[in-house]
Structure 1
Amino acid sequence: MNASVISTQFADPIHDAQQAFRGLLAATSRPGTIVTIPLPIASPAPLSPTLAAIGLTLLDDATPVWLDPILIQEPIRQYLLFNTGARVVTQPDSAAFAFFAKARNLPDFRVFPRGTPSYPDRSATLVVQVPLLAGGRPVSLRGPGIESVVSVEPAGLPDGFWDRWNENAANYPIGIDMILADACSIMSLPRTVKASF
């Protein structure tokens, strides 16, 4: 792999990273809202620029990360290690973050840390690439951060996803959180949010 790609971050590393972090905070505080974030100049395929931006923003040497079978490649591991210090783990139950190149690869959420009633923060966040954050089956979301209801329609989610999501939400305060990403934008699904059709 080209060393210049390994070291590539944002065009303006400090400013863009701050903007990306603010975008992630905005998405988390307003579940179901589509937020555009700055993207790095390059990222090692098949790690999309949006997933790379999330990794550059949220990962550090204290955040073990698990990669799905598409992403578990040496150039991607080197990219994340060089730019964030994050170590890639092989067992999902050791991950603070898990990255997926395709939503169809999502396993049972329970293979990831879901925290405990005493320590709900010891759970994983799943970062999932989808084709588009619009154009899929419309779903209504309710929960904290949503004034009444918000309609979302991310495309490319596997069959039964929203049923699985509601099972996850029903176990609050434990459970996983999720960030959906398309080519340039993100949408947050915290475990506090429930879906209806």
Structure 2
Amino acid sequence: MNDSIIASQFREPVHDSQATFRALLSATSRPGTIIDIPSPTTSPAPLGSALTAIALSLLDDTTPLWLDAALNTDSVTNYLRFHSGVRTVSDPREAMFGFFSCADTLIDFDRFNRGDSFYPDRSATLVVQLPSLTGGRPVSLSGPGIETETSVAPAGLPEGFWTHWNENAASYPVGIDLVLADQRSVLGLPRTTKASIS
């Protein structure tokens, strides 16, 4: 077996996986808050450190995963399959999670399962790799988990992203949830969060 598949994981697998999971819960319950997560020892390129940590914490053989074209490589799929047992799917609507190497192809949320009025919890969560969670165009977020408003400025989002995001939020209780990640931190955007462009 290829050593690159089995060698790289968390330094303390149980502790770091649990810490990452708690960080994701915190980021989701406090939208717009940037939270650092543990880094695995290495990551299979082009899957960044934070996306690798999220995968190691969330994925298993019951969580079908869709990967964008850049991530859908033998090195990434073999690594994820070895460490989590996850099954990858080619149809986005079959995925519980969708992983993106960048946000360029993110806008069409309707490609993914948005849940329905009976089972809104069956919608997909999309995890998107960005160059940075700061330094982009500022927007104000509001909604559950935010006392009044909070400002965020993730870099690397495509033009029109926030308009499409608000359309997603307006369809609540159905809709997708989003996790944005750079190399070391995460920012949660549940479907209940609305954005106002500054």
Contact residue 131 and residue 182 of structure 1 kept, 8 A: yes
- The corresponding residue for 2:130 is 130
Deviation at 1:107, TM superposition (A): 4.4
In 1, the alpha carbon distance for the partners of 2:6 and 2:64 equals: 19
SS at match of 1:166: helix
- TM-score in terms of structure 2 length: 0.97
In 2, the alpha carbon distance for the partners of 1:7 and 1:191 equals: 36
- The corresponding residue for 1:193 is 193
SS at match of 1:121: helix
Contact residue 129 and residue 181 of structure 2 kept, 8 A: yes
- The corresponding residue for 2:150 is 150
List structure 1 runs of 4+ shifted beyond 3 angstroms: 4-7
Residues 134-190 of structure 1, C-alpha deviations (whole Å, 9 max, x = no match): 010000000000000000000000000000000000000000000000010000000
In 2, the alpha carbon distance for the partners of 1:2 and 1:135 equals: 38
In 2, the alpha carbon distance for the partners of 1:105 and 1:11 equals: 33
In 2, the alpha carbon distance for the partners of 1:82 and 1:59 equals: 11
Listed as ranges, the gaps of 5+ residues in structure 2 are none
1:59 and 2:29 matched: no
Contact residue 7 and residue 83 of structure 1 kept, 8 A: no
In 2, the alpha carbon distance for the partners of 1:146 and 1:64 equals: 31
1:39 and 2:39 matched: yes
Number of matched residues?
Answer: 197
Cα gap change, 1:107/1:150 in structure 2, threshold over 3 Å: closer, same or farther? closer
- The corresponding residue for 1:86 is 86
In 2, the alpha carbon distance for the partners of 1:159 and 1:103 equals: 10
- The corresponding residue for 1:27 is 27
Aligned-residue identity in percent: 60
In 2, the alpha carbon distance for the partners of 1:5 and 1:89 equals: 20
Listed as ranges, the gaps of 5+ residues in structure 1 are none
In 1, the alpha carbon distance for the partners of 2:107 and 2:151 equals: 25
In 1, the alpha carbon distance for the partners of 2:131 and 2:4 equals: 28
SS at match of 2:19: helix
In 2, the alpha carbon distance for the partners of 1:132 and 1:78 equals: 27
- The corresponding residue for 2:15 is 15
In 2, the alpha carbon distance for the partners of 1:142 and 1:179 equals: 16
Deviation at 1:35, TM superposition (A): 0.3
- Letter of the structure 2 residue corresponding to residue 50 of structure 1: A
- The corresponding residue for 1:182 is 182
SS at match of 1:186: strand
- The corresponding residue for 1:3 is 3
- Letter of the structure 1 residue corresponding to residue 74 of structure 2: E
In 2, the alpha carbon distance for the partners of 1:27 and 1:6 equals: 29
In 2, the alpha carbon distance for the partners of 1:3 and 1:180 equals: 29
- TM-score in terms of structure 1 length: 0.97
Deviation at 1:15, TM superposition (A): 0.8
SS at match of 1:15: helix
- Letter of the structure 1 residue corresponding to residue 138 of structure 2: P
